[in-house]
Amino acid sequence: MKQYIAEKIEQALTLLKQDGVITGEISEITIDRTRDKAHGDFASNIALKTAKAAGKNPRELAQLIIEALGEDAKITKTEIAGPGFINFFVNEGEKFAVIKQILTAKDQFGKSNFGAGKKVQVEFVSANPTGPLHVGHGRGAAYGASVADLLEYVGYQVHREYYVNDAGRQMDILAASVWLRYLQQLGLEFPFPVNGYKGDYIHDIAKSLLEKHSDKFKVELYQLKDGLPADEVDGGDKEKYIDAVITRAKQLLEDSYRTVFDEGLDQILADIEDDLRGFGIVYQNWFSERSLTEDGTVERALTKLQDQGYIYEKDGALWFKSSEFGDEKDRAVKRSNGEYTYFASDIAYHVNKVDRGFDQIIDVWGADHHGYIPRVEAAMTASGVNAEKLKVLLVQFAILYRGGEKAQMSTRSGEFITLRELRDEVGTDAARFFYVMRKSEQHLDFDLDLAKSESSDNPVYYIQYAHARVCSVMRQLQEKGLTFDQQQGEENLVLLTEEQEQKIVKTLAKYPEMILYAAKNREPHQVCHYLRELSNDLHTYYNAHVFIVDEEKLRNARLLLINAVRQVLNNGLELLSVSAPQEM
RNA sequence: GUCCCGGUAGCUCAGCAGGAUAGAGCAACAGAUUCCUAAUCUGUAGGUCAGAGGUUCGAAUCCUCUUCGGGACGCCA
């Protein structure tokens, strides 16, 4: 309907332009749903916006537009209001059309082909596989997944990808940590490095390494310790110490180092994948960073930049002239020790993304990485790929609260609370919903007590209960030996004259617009707010009127309406990967 | 110092491709159940939209400055 009115106005304006009434530019046509019923159903400010170009006062122009609109069966009345708004009153029967649309389209209602099949890649989470996902990763996971799902919903071809940082120093630290725990399990006694990974899961990985390979990777204590610098506890540098341990591990283990390394990587990655699947997230691809180095992609990407003169050497390291492309300063791509930096593989990765033919590339990053954006864009531009295809979405931190207190640390291990612990505590539904409830660039206060509570204060329960309530009414109908006659309901929708019914119809009609807006702006929180509103409409209606009335026509019309509500609640919840229970 | 995000009711937040009287939820207070789930609903109260300028017929929304809070500024990832 909104679209329909916009088109009508466009026609009217074209007409006026032909007649020479309007000479200047016509602004974009916007149609708003009115807040006040006295202002009709829809309103447009087009006369206000175009007044200057037309050289007329707004009300005068509005009158001319209305005249040019002509008669229309769907619109019962138009009027000029305030400074020059045009208010539209829509035919009653026309408003109910959405109910039939919902029940015909079912779970397809709200979907569209706005994206026209364009290929979009969404990369999110991409946490280092050095340990289980924690609650800090949860928001990026829920947000990235919802954005991806929204885009798919409106017709994009979406490719979800997890970039696995399976190379680099952090992974070496992991491998060394696993090996040291393995040695300790074999009876070697030595203090664990200050900078090593100390989580319980490291012991588990070491244990399975021991089970699979027995003492194959065992060395004597002197081989391990001799000649190593001091760790922090002994007055040394913890960074230098752990690097020396890594070097020693590689020397002693030789080819077996990779086995130890992969044992840690594979187990943690399997855990992450399982965790995310449990969180309702499935990727199309897990992209290995290591593969970029191994197949020479990184080398080629850097050579290309070098050939164009964007790489230079300083202090034994290689630098990319990102400052020539808008970055604050130049960035290192190869360290003086000969290893590529993370940035080097990221250059290769982003060029690779574009090469794979995506029309749009979306990276979901933590807000603390925002300073990283200019250098990646600089690298893309310097590499001759279109940096405008990249859109980085930043997600602010989520702070967990329990009993009014911050609860970032896990009470048991003293480490960060894992995502899995969170899901166990509040459930996947609540976690998915709470994480996307706020605008992504807004800090999120995640109230664990609220997420767990089975009360109307909890928006998840509130919405799910609205869905269950409709199902419950339908069960009641059956118990009373009555059947729902959809056909008769459709024929009698005009009987829905109560204000709560009118409100529901209005809210239902907004769903597709809301979805499109949310997708275009990558704002899944819009869906949350919408679902709460629709649920509120339903609960209000429920309390004000009985649906299963004796009068058959009215009864079926009402049941039709609440079934439409149930369908839309179901669609919205499904989009957020939150379940829509039949009963609670 | 530079850059990013934020400041809206006591609290948590919507609204910000400019539009008509700034909205929810929680908390507070007052109510509603012989009736489809009270896991619900209704009502009351609550505001210098951080502050100051500017653009505009019109600003919470756009621009500038100030201020407060969070974050980022590595040969880490």
Here the ipTM equals: 0.95
Is residue A235 exposed (0-12), middle (13-18) or buried (19+ Cβ within 10 Å)?
A: exposed
If you average pLDDT over residues A283-301, what whole number do you get? Answer: 95
Q: Above 90 in pLDDT, residue A525?
A: yes
Residue closest to B19 C1′ by Cα: A45
* Residue A7: count of CB within 10 angstroms of its CB: 11
pLDDT at residue A24 in the model: 64
Tell me the average pLDDT of chain A. Answer: 92
Angle at A261 between CA A340 and CA A235, to 5 degrees: 75
Q: Above 90 in pLDDT, residue A484?
A: yes
pLDDT at residue A337 in the model: 86
If you average pLDDT over residues A403-419, what whole number do you get? Answer: 76
- Is there a contact between A23 and A55 (Cβ–Cβ < 8 Å)? yes
Closest nucleotide (C1' vs CA) to A87 is B20
Cα gap A100→A392, rounded to integer Å: 39
Looking at per-residue pLDDT, the higher value among A403 and A429 belongs to A429
State pLDDT tens for residues A112-125. 999 999 999 999 99
pLDDT at residue A171 in the model: 93
DSSP secondary structure string, A477-546?
A: HHHTT----HHHHHHTGGG--SHHHHHHHHHHHHHHHHHHHHHHTT-THHHHHHHHHHHHHHHHHHHH--
pLDDT at residue A456 in the model: 77
Q: Above 70 in pLDDT, residue A414?
A: no
Distance A247 CA to B1 C1' (A): 39
Distance A86 CA to B52 C1' (A): 36
| Domains annotated on chain A, with CATH | 2-90 (3.30.1360.70), 169-269 (no CATH), 459-575 (1.10.730.10)
pLDDT at residue A412 in the model: 60
| A51 CA to centre of own chain | 41
pLDDT at residue A54 in the model: 74
- What letter does residue A417 receive in the DSSP assignment? P
- C-alpha R_g of chain A: 30
Residue closest to B42 C1′ by Cα: A540
* Residue A509: count of CB within 10 angstroms of its CB: 21
Q: Dihedral through CA A466, CA A470, CA A475, CA A476, nearest 10?
A: 90
Q: Above 80 in pLDDT, residue A534?
A: yes
Task: Scan for tokens 């600089």, then name that residue.
Answer: A378
If you average pLDDT over residues A308-332, what whole number do you get? Answer: 93
Q: Dihedral through CA A153, CA A154, CA A158, CA A160, nearest 10?
A: -50
Distance A196 CA to B60 C1' (A): 50
**Ranges A35-44, A240-249, A353-362: which has the least confidence:** A35-44
Q: Above 80 in pLDDT, residue A216?
A: yes
**Ranges A8-22, A188-202, A394-408: which has the least confidence:** A8-22
- Is there a contact between A511 and A530 (Cβ–Cβ < 8 Å)? yes
pLDDT at residue A232 in the model: 87
User: Where does the pLDDT of residue A496 fall: very low under 50, low under 70, confident under 90, or very high at 90 and above?
Assistant: very high
Which strands make up the sheet holding A31-33, listed edge to edge?
Answer: A31-33, A42-44, A85-90, A75-81
- Give bridge partners of residue A418 from the DSSP assignment: A134
Indicate the SS3 state at residue A21: coil
Task: Scan for tokens 């002509």, then name that residue.
Answer: A70
Closest nucleotide (C1' vs CA) to A526 is B14
Distance A570 CA to B49 C1' (A): 35
